[in-house]
Amino acid sequence: MKKISKAPVETTDQDLFRQAVADARPLPDPNKVLRRQEPPPPFPVQSYLDEHAALRESLEANWTAQDWLDIGDEPNYLRPGLSRQVLRKLRSGNWVIQDQLDLHGLDRHEAREALAGFLTGCTKRGVRCVRVIHGKGLGSKNREPVLKAKVKHWLTQRAEVLAYCQARPVDGGSGALVVLLTA
């Protein structure tokens, strides 16, 4: 009887498997959490101290007749019980605008939700002074601002809003409001 010798198989199943997984890398340990976090942005300590000093000074100041003369026709709001100095300093750009929300292109429902979320987020992050851009209404029907009056009304309803005034021309003029928030 002749012995049948098996010809050597060039590749076995094991060899095929090894070739298939040759580039594979082991999975990380499932009990280890890998995160790539960027360091938080630097905190502007001096700006923070300057703003608190300005607020403290404004709250302690007495109301003068000159303060009444400084009030123009532009929209403004001051929470009852606060010194008019707060509004005067806000109007003069004493506080640095730390964040902004642009409401261009939003309808009134979207704008109200965006404003509420923005103010809540700013308060959580400790942002004190923001700009809300409501627009001048040039793209609206009859070229009248739709959001301008609504945004002013919504801001007066928010507990975190201490004051607001029309932005300086360099900050948006009649198309924006500068808002001071609680700490």
Residue 59: predicted pLDDT? 61
Q: Which CATH class is domain 45-181?
A: alpha beta
Q: How far apart are the first and last CA of the chain?
A: 99
pLDDT attached to residue 65? 46
Distance CA 149, CA 121 (A): 23
63 CB-near residues (< 8 Å, 6+ apart) = 83, 84, 85
pLDDT at 71: 47
Q: Give the pLDDT band of residue 31 (cuts 50, 70, 90).
A: confident
**pLDDT tier, 25 (very low <50, low <70, confident <90, very high otherwise):** confident
Higher local confidence (pLDDT), 84 or 29: 84
Work out the pLDDT band at 62, boundaries 50, 70, 90.
Answer: low
Helix and strand tally (H, E) in the chain? 6, 5
**Comparing C-alpha atoms, which of 95, 21, 26 is closest to residue 58?**
95
**Interval 63-116: pLDDT, tens:** 454 444 444 556 788 888 888 888 888 888 888 999 999 998 888 899 999 999
Checking DSSP bridges between strand 99-102 and strand 129-133, what pairing results, if any? parallel
pLDDT digits (tens, 9 = 90+) for 99-112: 999 998 888 899 99
User: Region 146-156: what's the mean pLDDT?
Assistant: 88
Task: Name the residue with higher pLDDT: 26 or 55.
Answer: 26
pTM of the shown model: 0.60
